[in-house]
């Protein structure tokens, strides 16, 4: 047991001998302690913390004493507390001084009833983690702050208020977060004096010119309800051409990319220095700056940068930059400390190694990472709006050396915040071609229907509010691609001077009376604002959105909409929203080049290029058989070079019908890689998502689930919880480990308990028998799972056992799912005819690609069988599945490999694309893929780099206790 010289334990009384006596509040009768007459000074802080050596004499009736290393937090020495003996429990009140609990202690714990006499217990408690860091300006910055990026409206105020009442004294904000007004409300509502709070804000890229800096700061100060900020940072080392104070991402009127201009950093810096002298800022610094950029500023600056706020977490540790910053006295602040952001990328907080280390210490993974961040000498900014997490994120502690080093070893140099869409190589990590593609991807993330539709084809819309005939007057929603924030909506007759310049040249055959709702947009934020203003509009007529923009990846100039705009329209308006474009002939080219790339963790990508330089990507992954597929691709590449790239079905049929020996996993996986790449190439040249070529979409979003493994289930519940935090509402788990023909019933009981644990989280769970369960055990497990109503049982037996699967399907009411080991519609046919499958799970990379998958989907629908494609593979396979899913009426749910345990090499579903945000899961769904082709943009530089030394993945296999080979 250890004691703190705290008012919460009663006032200490010091005798001449240097003893201190505490009177506790009903927990113990008394305790005596020796005060060690020494003080320590923490690195990076000016605070002096006493080191107390406490000797306590107790009568412990019926208890024994055991010393254990603490993983709990050490309380600041003046913070009120109560310590309850026997439970190592501290019920804390909010510290009036807001001191951080960033410290480690050794605790003494009572455990077994064995002692009957008083014992002398000694414990040394030393504060070893910094509560704050000294800045070059002389001020101090608290080590842990509350981040506010990506906090939703109406959440920030309560989060800030709760954080401050819980002891936080550092709040990080920024103009571009668009929530500083709520931050200011939270600061005020907390009741904590302003002088006790450290407030950071950031200058946005549109206000880098000297004359704009103070204007931006004044807006921030007004929103925050304060007359100064403690720290003001240049948010990014890139400048935008300012349109107005509200526009965050102004677009160039010609390129429609973000309008980047050249403003010397020193110009911005001098303006900030002047504001320090005015008293509006106490310290100034930078954000997202490399060492080279800081060095360039250093010699020119009168006031040196006090802080560099950068992305830093276990997956991106930046040790060289951190070491150099410490040498110069620049404090590093870490944002995105858990290695997660809006793109739903694999998070460090979900890393199995992190989870295991945290579990061993009795802590949450987030607490482990935050403590590691402080221990390595950085300020850290965890973001949360959940009160319990806000509190837990504040509980930092010193990590044991071995744990600290294990986290250090997780560095992947994996950056999550990469604004390549700006066309600027901010971090010195992007080549010109990558930047160009990133800009195009961002600019062209649009959704539209096939160009060339005739206005006269619009007939009476299927609405209940309309009963007359002929059709009501046609209205159009005209979106002007000029710059600026949207003007208020107003009705304009389409043939008036104001509207005819936009409408009439496009539609000369348009007759009759009508109106155009005209809005000006010049950027995405403006489009979204237009949507917010338009959300109250009601309409019982078709709405046509017009937007002039060049088309990515092709040679068509179409009128395309902003997807976010359409999604924000009121339901009646969105229901009849159409987009009209011009039609330009497109010439297809011949296949000029075919390549494949073996990449970690276990994927095989295919790239096809035509004579015009157009590119398509496919995936031919076949786990455990990479070399065999590569051999098949080598033979086919030679055969198909020079063929018309748009003749997808002709190439597919040639592959199938002219080879005599056909089908099988290797053959069909190689064919899938080629087929998917050809679909991607063709759709990109047309400027369409593939689902448009499949007949159009039948849904606007896809229901998805994550696979959480379970081959050797250590903590399936923890993995499920992590997926839930990522937005999933359903998971799939392996039902068992390896089993014999007739194994112990205990293995079945364990499987049931794991399903119950996942269901207790409020998540749906599918159970994958994986074909590793033989019929005697499969029958038992199916019956045992039935009361818990899993989503489905996948592969109750291997697919060659049609009769056994039929028997089990009659035995249980749980839906039977299978298909990953069926490689064509002919393989699927017997199961449909036998009526023993409820959910078909073909794997698009194993069934010959999109061409065969769409035929299988239609075939299944004829038997009233649902489609739920199997996909524990890479981003290309998932995108190809999604394209078919959007166009298939019998689709029910899609598997995603995000964060699965096979992805242990540092690469995951999002690692090879420039637009990983398309995989963001919200309430169990992903949004419609709206980009051309597959809807994803492959990072070819990353693919080529990681393919250089990639090894073929080998199936681990299972060996039974008797040395027998078991099903894997």
Q: Compute the Cα dihedral for 8, 13, 18, 20 and give only its sign.
A: negative
Active site residue 650: no
Are the C-beta atoms of 712 and 722 separated by less than 8 Å? Answer: no
Spatial distance between the Cα atoms of 381 and 677, rounded to a whole number of angstroms: 42
**883 token code pair:** 């394209």
- Residue 965 tokens, joined: 């080979």
Rounded Cα distance between 621 and 914, Å, is 21
Which of 770, 823, 846, 914 is an active site residue?
A: 770
Angle (CA) 417-421-426 rounded to 5° is 60
Q: What is the DSSP string of 613-641?
A: S-EEEEE---TT-HHHHHHHHHHHHHHHT
Q: Which residue out of 100, 235, 475, 870 is catalytically annotated?
A: 870
CB 364 within 8 A of CB 130: no
Q: Which residue has the tokens 């996993």?
A: 665
CB of 144 within 8 A of CB of 382?
Answer: yes
Helix H or strand E segment including 309? strand 307-311
Rounded Cα–Cα distance for residues 734 and 770 (Å)? 7
Tell me the two tokens of residue 631: 């051999």
Helix (H) or strand (E) holding 277: helix 265-278
Cβ–Cβ under 8 Å, residues 612 and 677: no
d(CA 820, CA 828): 10
Cβ atoms of 633 and 606 closer than 8 Å: yes
- Alpha helices (H) along 517-562: 524-534
Work out the number of other CB atoms within 10 angstroms of the CB of residue 927. 17
CA distance 127 to 48: 10
624's torsion region: left (phi>0), alpha (psi -120 to 50) or beta? Answer: left
828-831 contacts: CB < 8 A, separation 24 or more? 828/856, 828/859, 828/860, 829/859, 830/802, 831/799, 831/802, 831/805
Rounded to whole angstroms, how far apart are CA atoms 722 and 708? 10
**CA of residue 475 relative to chain centroid, distance:** 39
Report DSSP state, residue 316. B
Is residue 519 a contact partner of residue 480, using CB atoms and an 8 Å limit? Answer: yes
Q: Does residue 770 have an active-site annotation? A: yes
Q: Which residues pair with residue 913 across a beta bridge?
A: 938
H runs (alpha helix) in 495-625: 497-503, 524-534, 563-568, 571-575
Place of tokens 């035509």: 610
Q: CA–CA separation, 356 vs 890, rounded Å?
A: 40
CA torsion sign, 784 to 871 to 338 to 376?
positive
DSSP element (H, E) containing 782: helix 775-785
Tell me which residues are annotated as active site.
770, 870
């Amino acid at each position: 047991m250890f004691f703190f010289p705290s008012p919460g334990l009663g006032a200490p009384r010091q005798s001449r001998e240097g003893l201190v006596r505490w009177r506790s509040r009903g927990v113990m009768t008394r305790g005596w302690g020796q005060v060690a007459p020494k003080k320590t000074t923490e690195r990076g802080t000016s605070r002096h913390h006493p080191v107390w050596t406490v000797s306590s004499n107790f009568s412990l009736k019926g208890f024994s004493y055991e010393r254990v290393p603490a993983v709990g937090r050490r309380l600041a020495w003046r913070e009120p507390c109560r310590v309850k003996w026997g439970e190592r429990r501290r019920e804390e009140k909010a510290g009036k001084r807001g001191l951080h609990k960033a410290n480690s202690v050794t605790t003494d714990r009572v455990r077994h009833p064995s002692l009957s006499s008083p014992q002398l217990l000694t414990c040394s408690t030393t504060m070893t983690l910094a509560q704050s860091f000294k800045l070059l300006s002389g001020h101090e910055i608290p080590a842990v702050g509350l981040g506010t990026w990506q906090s939703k409206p109406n959440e920030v105020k309560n989060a800030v208020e709760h954080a401050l009442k819980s002891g936080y004294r550092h709040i990080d904000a920024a103009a571009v977060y668009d929530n500083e007004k709520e931050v200011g409300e939270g600061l005020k509502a907390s009741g904590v004096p302003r002088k006790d709070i450290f407030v950071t804000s950031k200058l946005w890229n549109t206000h880098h010119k000297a004359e704009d800096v103070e204007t931006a700061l004044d807006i921030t100060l007004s929103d925050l309800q304060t007359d100064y900020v403690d720290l003001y940072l240049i948010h990014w080392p890139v400048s935008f051409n300012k349109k107005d104070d509200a526009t965050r991402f102004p677009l160039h009127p010609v390129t429609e990319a973000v309008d980047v201009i050249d403003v010397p950093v020193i110009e911005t810096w001098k303006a900030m220095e002047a504001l320090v002298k005015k008293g509006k800022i106490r310290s100034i610094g930078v954000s997202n700056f490399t060492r080279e950029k800081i060095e360039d500023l250093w010699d020119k600056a009168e006031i040196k940068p006090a802080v560099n706020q950068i992305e830093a977490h276990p997956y991106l540790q930046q040790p060289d930059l951190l070491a150099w910053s410490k040498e110069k006295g620049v404090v590093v602040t870490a944002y995105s400390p858990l290695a997660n952001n809006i793109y739903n990328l694999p998070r460090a907080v979900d890393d199995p190694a992190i989870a295991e280390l945290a579990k061993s210490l009795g802590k949450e993974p987030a607490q482990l990472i935050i403590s590691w961040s402080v221990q390595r000498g950085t300020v850290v900014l965890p973001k949360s709006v959940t009160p319990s997490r806000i509190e837990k994120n504040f509980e930092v502690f010193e990590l044991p050396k071995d744990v600290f080093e294990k986290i250090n070893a997780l560095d992947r140099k994996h950056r999550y915040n990469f604004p390549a869409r700006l066309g600027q190589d901010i971090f010195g990590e992007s080549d010109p071609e990558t930047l160009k593609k990133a800009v195009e991807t961002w600019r062209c993330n649009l959704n539209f229907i096939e160009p060339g539709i005739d206005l006269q084809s619009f007939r009476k819309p299927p609405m209940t509010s309309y009963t007359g005939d002929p059709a009501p007057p046609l209205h159009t929603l005209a979106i002007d691609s000029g710059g600026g924030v949207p003007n208020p909506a107003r009705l304009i007759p389409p043939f008036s001077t104001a509207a005819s310049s936009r409408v009439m040249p496009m539609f000369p055959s348009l007759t009759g009376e009508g109106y155009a709702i005209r809005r000006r947009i010049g950027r995405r934020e403006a489009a979204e604002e237009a949507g917010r203003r338009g959300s109250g509009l009601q309409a019982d007529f078709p709405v046509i959105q017009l937007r002039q923009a060049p088309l990515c990846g092709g040679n068509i100039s179409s009128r395309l909409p902003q997807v976010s705009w359409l999604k924000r329209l009121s339901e009646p308006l969105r229901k009849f929203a159409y987009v009209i474009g011009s039609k330009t002939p497109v010439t297809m080219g011949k296949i000029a080049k075919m390549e494949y790339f073996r990449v970690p963790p276990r994927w095989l990508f295919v790239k096809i290029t035509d004579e015009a330089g157009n590119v398509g990507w496919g995936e031919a992954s076949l786990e455990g058989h990479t070399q065999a597929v590569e051999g098949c691709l080598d033979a086919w590449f030679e055969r198909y070079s020079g063929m018309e790239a748009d003749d997808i079905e002709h190439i597919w049929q040639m592959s199938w019908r002219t080879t005599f020996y056909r089908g099988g996993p290797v053959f069909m996986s190689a064919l899938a890689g080629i087929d998917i790449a050809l679909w991607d190439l063709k759709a990109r040249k047309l400027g369409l998502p593939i689902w448009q070529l499949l007949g159009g979409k039948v849904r606007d979003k896809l229901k998805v689930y994550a696979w959480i493994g379970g081959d050797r289930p250590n903590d399936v519940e923890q993995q499920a919880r992590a997926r839930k935090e990522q937005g999933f509402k359903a998971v799939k788990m392996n039902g068992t480990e390896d089993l014999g023909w007739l194994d112990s019933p205990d293995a079945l009981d364990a499987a049931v308990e794991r399903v119950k644990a996942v269901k207790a989280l409020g998540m749906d769970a599918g159970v994958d028998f994986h074909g590793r369960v033989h019929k005697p055990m499969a029958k038992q497990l199916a019956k045992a799972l039935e009361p818990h109503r899993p989503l489905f049982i996948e592969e109750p037996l291997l697919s060659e056992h049609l009769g056994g699967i039929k028997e089990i399907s009659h035995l249980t009411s749980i839906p039977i799912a299978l298909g990953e080991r069926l490689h064509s519609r002919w393989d699927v046919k017997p199961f449909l005819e036998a009526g023993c499958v409820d959910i078909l799970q073909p794997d698009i990379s194993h069934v010959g690609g999109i061409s065969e998958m769409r035929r299988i989907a239609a075939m299944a629908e004829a038997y009233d069988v649902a489609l739920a494609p199997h996909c524990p593979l890479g981003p290309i396979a998932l995108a190809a599945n999604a394209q078919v899913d959007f166009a298939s009426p019998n689709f029910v749910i899609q598997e995603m490999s995000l964060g699965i345990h096979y992805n242990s090499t540092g690469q995951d579903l999002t690692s090879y694309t420039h637009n990983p945000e398309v995989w963001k899961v919200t309430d169990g769904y992903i949004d419609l893929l709206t980009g051309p082709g597959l809807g994803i943009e492959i990072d070819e530089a990353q693919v080529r780099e990681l393919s250089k030394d990639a090894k073929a993945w080998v199936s681990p296999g299972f060996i039974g206790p008797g040395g027998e080979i078991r099903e894997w």
